[in-house]
Structures are given as C-alpha cells and as structure tokens.
Amino acid sequence: FLFLYFFFLNVSYTGYPLPNVALKGEATQSSTLSFATASKAIDGRRNSFYSDGFCSHTAKDETNPWWRVDLQRSFTITAVKVTNRGDCCAERLDGAEIRIGNSLENNGNNNPRCASISHINAGKTYTFQCDGGSMEGRFVNVFLPGQKKTLTLCEVEVYAAPQNGNQNPR
C-alpha cells in the first residue's frame, strides 16, 4: 500500500516513480528576507505558512526577483511542482516563470521557459509540465519579472530522470 501511495504521489516515467531531484540540490535566490533562505523551498515540506519557517522569501519590492536550484548535474525534467504561500499573498506568485537549462547567464533566468504560473491558490501545490513534454537542464529557476515584486516559495519539487537514459535497468 505504501508503495502505491508513493507511486501515485510522484510522476512516473516508464512505469517507475521519478525522484524529486531538488531535494539533493543547492538553492539560491536574488535576496533573502530574514530567515527565509532559498533552501527552505527544497526542504521536503509543503508547509505553506511563512511564519512556520519552511518557505523561502526574497526582499520586498524587488525588481525581477528569482529563485534557483542547482541540481548538480543535468536531468531530463518532466514536471515541476510548486507550493504557494498559504497564509496570505497568494497573488504575489502570479506571472512567475519556470525556466530550465544549463546556463547561468543572467543567474539562469535566460534559460528556456518550461511554463508560466498564472495563479496558484493559497497553500496549494500545482504541477507544471513543460510545454512540449520534458526539458533538459541542471538549473531550475522561478523568475518573477517586474518591479516591486516579492517571491515566496514554500516548496519546489523537480521530478526528473537521469539524462543518460534508463533510471532503472530491468
């Protein structure tokens, strides 16, 4: 039963559940408000209440804030799950872009766009699948274009297969 629970919790690839490779990544962001470091968004907890201490948060009213996870090597990414803040301010994430690639040009924000976040309800987790299926890359960014923006992420999960073929040999 437990296996089935985790199987359906993850996105599958050739019949196997894919791992959340963000958990072993290294996160950074354009700025940090108080204790809300970038790594809070890859701690494995979908707790969406900022005051509980499990969300990342950039400085308030920044221009083009961003958050990035370095997966340490390139993967074939099939889905990115984002958990929005639940206690307030859900609209702050509206218009953000998920970008995936291997370049650190412009802090990784110039990498190809996987998907745009039109809106995620407060405290909810939404799964984004890249336009055209999967994308390859080492860096996954959440980029929020515009002035006077604040970026808060309570969890970012990246489901991927190793770039060099089979994840589980038969």
pLDDT at 6 over 80: no
> Options 3.90.1580.10, 3.20.20.70, 3.40.50.1370, 2.60.120.260; which CATH number does 18-162 get?
2.60.120.260
pLDDT at 169: 38
**Buried b or exposed e, range 61-86, using 16+ CB within 10 angstroms:** ebeebbbbbebeebbbbbbbbbbbbb
User: 156 vs 84, 128, 164, CA distance in Å?
Assistant: 9, 11, 24
Residues 6+ apart with CB under 8 A from 25: 42, 69, 70, 71, 72, 140, 158
Domain boundaries, the chain: 18-162
Distance between CA atoms of residues 99 and 48, nearest Å: 22
Distance between CA atoms of residues 116 and 122, nearest Å: 17
**Rounded average pLDDT over 95-107:** 98
pLDDT in tens, 10-61: 444 445 689 999 999 999 999 999 999 999 999 999 999 999 999 999 999 9
pTM for the structure as a whole = 0.87
pLDDT in tens, 117-154: 999 999 999 999 998 889 999 999 999 999 999 999 99
pLDDT at 15: 52
pLDDT at 63 over 90: yes
Distance between CA atoms of residues 153 and 150, nearest Å: 10
Distance between CA atoms of residues 7 and 11, nearest Å: 8
Residues 6+ apart with CB under 8 A from 119: 90, 91, 93, 94
Nearest in space to 95 (alpha carbons), one of 68, 114, 119: 119
